[in-house]
Every structure is written in structure tokens, then in C-alpha cells.
Amino acid sequence: MAGITSPGTAYLGHLADLHQHISEPLIPLSVILQDAKSAVAQGVESQQQKPRTQPASVDTLLIEDLTHVRHTSFLGKTPAEPGEQPVYVAIAGAPGAGKSTLLEQVLDRGAFLAPNASQRVTRGAWLARILERCWPHRESLPDESMPLLDQQHAHSDARYAKTVLADPDRVFLVHSLLYHDHLAAATMAQLGPEKAKREAYEKSRARSNAGTNTIRNQIVADRYHFADGSTLTGGQTGRYLHGLQQRGYDIHLGLCHTSRAVQRASLQRREQKEGFVQVAAEDVEAKARLFIERHKVYAQYSTMLALFWRPRADADAVLGAIYKDGKKTVYDVSAYKAYIASYNAARADLVRPRRSLLARLCYGAQPPMPTTAPTWKEFEDILTTTHS
């Protein structure tokens, strides 16, 4: 019948309208619309499962939800001043490394430093020593006598306080009316808290991704200072950072690393506390490998890069070193060494994956595998030579 449109038409059209003034969006509109279509399908399914007396259309609900989050995200923020270079700040790392918490600390304090300057990771140095013995890379490690620098010397930037934060979980879901609707008391009672939170997250992922990427495009198009909750481990990370560089952004990256045991414990704590079920167990390992492989990209596109090591799930990440203007400054030797040792061990697993004793007896040693992960020397050479 004339005048009747299929669900999602208005929502997809709304997203397209928001991109009309953006000639070359950082994230292609086609990618956003693909997530948006999944969000529409999930919205239709949710309405069929929970019919209401006078249900609002799926389009109305999705548009209102996006409008609310966009308004909240840009509230009180202004674009970079004329002649001021906009900053991009993000924390890369594997799931459970502590990226989101660290980014919040950086933005709150306006600096890349650990919140407890007196808390060192010397008690975690044993891990670095064990890994060094298993995978010796002595040429990459600093001298034991290297002094610790006061945290007041760490990198600070007044622009951090002006950033618009784009994060599919910590921003979009927190302010999403639909997400909280999924967590209504009746649903929690019917499914139980854990299952209700898991379902709410799964039903919201596509909508959150489409909305967050729309906000990212608006941030960059209008030259706002930009804080990003992206994990920066995907296959398009290089293209993404290159796009920011081409648009004049000053790229400040923090790399947050930890052990696999801390990853698992941290993810369990987050699920119990916040209900965010971000990744399946198999995806944790995959993204941990991708984080190691992306180090060359991080080094190539960052104008300032900070290394953080998280010693325990109940501890904050500790600043190990900062690379800026071709110079390396080490702030905590133990954190720096733990990061390097863990990186070298993870890279060794990529180059020559471990085999069980039975597999080695039957098939011999695993032949070397190609990897995009640079050696630690190659990584530091990019940061201290290319950027000098």
C-alpha cells in the first residue's frame, strides 16, 4: 500500500542525512548502514517478542536513542580553535588489559600517567625475569640502574579535557535508552541478571556500533578533540589512523599490555560488575594476537606513544615509557621490562606457535610463520628514528 514503508527506512535515511555535510567520512557510510540494518532486524525481533498496546515504531525508537546519545556526547564541547591542531587520544590493547579504565584516568587527569604515582610494579618484576629466561632478548631491556622518573614529568595535554569521547560501551550503552529498556526489572526477573545483561548487550551491539561510528564521523568532520574507546586491533586500524593523520589530527596512543591471567580475571570482574559481555573466550585470544601484530601501525602513525603494564586485575596500569619527538623516556623500569618481555614472548608464539610434546614427536618442530609484528628493536627504531 502507498505510504507504508518497511521498518528501518526512516532510521537509515536519518543516518544518511547526518552524513550529508561530510564529503569524505572517516568511517564509510556503507559500514555504518550495514550495522544499522542489523540493528533494525534486532529491533523488529524485540518488538515481536514483547508486543505493546501502542508500540512506537522501530525507526522512532532507534532515531530517538541515537539523538539522545549524540546530544549527551557533544554536550558542553566545542571544536578545536582556529589554528589549533585537534588531538586524537586512544588506548590500544587486548580485552581485559584495562584500556577503558586507563583512558578515563588519562582524560580525568589530562595526562598519561598512573593514578598512584608511588605504586610501582617491582612486585611484578618476577614475571619479566621469568619471561626473559624463556625468551632472552637482553639487548631490548634497559639497564637495572636506570633511575625512575617522577610521574610529574609524564606527558600532559590541556586538549584532553576538551575531547569528545566515542565509545560503544562506556558511552553509547551507558546513555542508550533502549539498552536500559532491555534491562527492565521484569526481564531481569524472568531471565536472571547475568543472562539479561548478556542478551541486552548482544541486542545492542549493532545499534551501538552504528551510532558510535556516526558520532566518530561527526567529531572528525567538525574538528573536535577526539577521545576514542576503540580497541584499535581490527584489520582497518592502519587505514583508520592514516585517515586521522590525513585530517590533521595529533595522534596520541597508549598501549596497555598485561598477562593472559590478568586478562581473564579482569574480564570476569567486569562482567560481574558492569554486565558487559564484550567478547567470547576465543575472541580474547584472537584480539590479543592482533594487538601484538598492530604494533608497527601504532608506531608509524602516533606522534606520542605511551607504554603501560598492568600487573594485576585489581591494580591500575603503570606507565613504563613514553616516546615523543624521536626520544624515549622510561618512567618505570619494571613496567617497561615486563611489557617488553611479554611482547617478545607473544611475538615468539606468533612466529613459532607452540606444539604439544606428542605433536613435536610426530611432526617435528613448528616451522617459522610470517607475522606483521615487528621485533622490539624494529618497533623502537620507528618511534625513535622515523619520528625524530
pLDDT at 113: 78
Q: Residue 132: inside a domain, yes or no?
A: yes
Question: Are 160 and 191 within 8 A, CB to CB?
Answer: no
Q: In this structure, what DSSP letter does residue 140 have?
A: G
pLDDT at 146: 45
Q: Residue 311: inside a domain, yes or no?
A: yes
Q: How far is CA 226 from CA 31, 99, 160, 169, in A?
A: 20, 16, 8, 16
Q: In this structure, what DSSP letter does residue 322 have?
A: E
pLDDT at 118: 41
Single-letter code of the amino acid located at 191: L
Number of domains in the chain: 1
Q: Which domain holds residue 219?
A: 9-46+58-386
Q: Residue 110: inside a domain, yes or no?
A: yes
pLDDT at 1: 43
**Closest to 44 measured CA to CA, from 207, 177, 278, 174:** 207
pLDDT at 41: 92
Q: How far apart are CA 46 and CA 183, in angstroms?
A: 13
pLDDT at 53: 42
Q: Which three cell numbers stand for residue 226?
A: 577526539
- What is the DSSP secondary-structure string of 37-86? HHHHHHHHHHHHHS--SSPPPHHHHHHHHHHHHHHHHHTT--PPPTTPPP
Spatial neighbors of 41 by CB under 8 A, at least 6 apart, are none
First to last CA, the chain: 66
pLDDT along the chain (388 residues), means of 10: 70 96 95 95 79 67 94 96 97 91 92 58 42 44 47 78 94 86 65 75 90 98 96 93 97 95 83 60 79 96 96 92 94 95 92 58 55 93 82
Q: What residues form DSSP beta bridges with 227?
A: 89, 165
Q: Residue 1: inside a domain, yes or no?
A: no
pTM: 0.84
Q: How far apart are CA 163 and CA 168, in angstroms?
A: 16
Q: Residue 66: inside a domain, yes or no?
A: yes
Q: Residue 3: inside a domain, yes or no?
A: no
pLDDT at 370: 62
Q: How far is CA 292 from CA 26, 35, 296, 298, 370, in A?
A: 24, 27, 9, 10, 13
Over residues 190-245, the pLDDT tens digits come to: 667 777 777 788 888 999 999 999 999 999 999 999 999 988 998 999 999 999 99
Q: How far apart are CA 52 and CA 60, in angstroms?
A: 15
Reported as type and span, the H/E element at residue 256 is strand 250-258
Q: Residue 2: inside a domain, yes or no?
A: no
pLDDT at 237: 96
Q: Residue 72: inside a domain, yes or no?
A: yes
Other CB atoms within a 10 A radius of the CB of residue 334 amount to 23
